[in-house]
Structure 1
Amino acid sequence: MKEIKLRIKSVESTMQITKAMELVASSKLRRAKERVEHSRPYFETLYETLFDIAATQDHFDSPYLAKRDTHRRLYIVIAGDRGLAGGYNANILKAVQADAEGQEYEVLPIGKKAVEYFTRHKVPMITQAFAEAGALSVSDSFEISKIVCQKFLEGEFDEIRLCFTQFVSMLTQTATVLQVLPFNAPTDAKKRQSLMLYEPDAATVFDTIIPEYLAGVVYGALCESVASEQGARRTAMDAATKNAGEMIEHLNLYYNRARQAAITQEITEIVAGADAES
Structure 2
Amino acid sequence: MAVVASVVGFLLLLLCIWICLRCRKPRENEESADGMIKAESLQYDLATVRAATKNFCEGNKLGQGGFGAVYKGKLPNGQDVAVKRLSSASGQGDLEFKNEVLLVAKLQHRNLVRLFGFCLKGDERLLIYEFVPNTSLDHFIFDPTKCAQLDWERRYKIIGGIARGLLYLHEDSRLRIIHRDLKPSNILLDEDMNPKIADFGMARLVVRDETKANTSRVVGTYGYMAPEYAMHGQFSVKSDVFSFGVLLLEIVSGQRNSCFQNGESIEDLLSFVSVEKLEGRGRIESPRSNFEKWFNS
Q: TM-score by structure 2 length?
A: 0.22
Q: TM-score by structure 1 length?
A: 0.23
Judging by fraction of residues, say which structure has more helix. 1
Instruction: Kindly indicate whether structure 1 or structure 2 has the higher relative contact order, using CA contacts under 8 Å at least 6 residues apart.
Output: 1
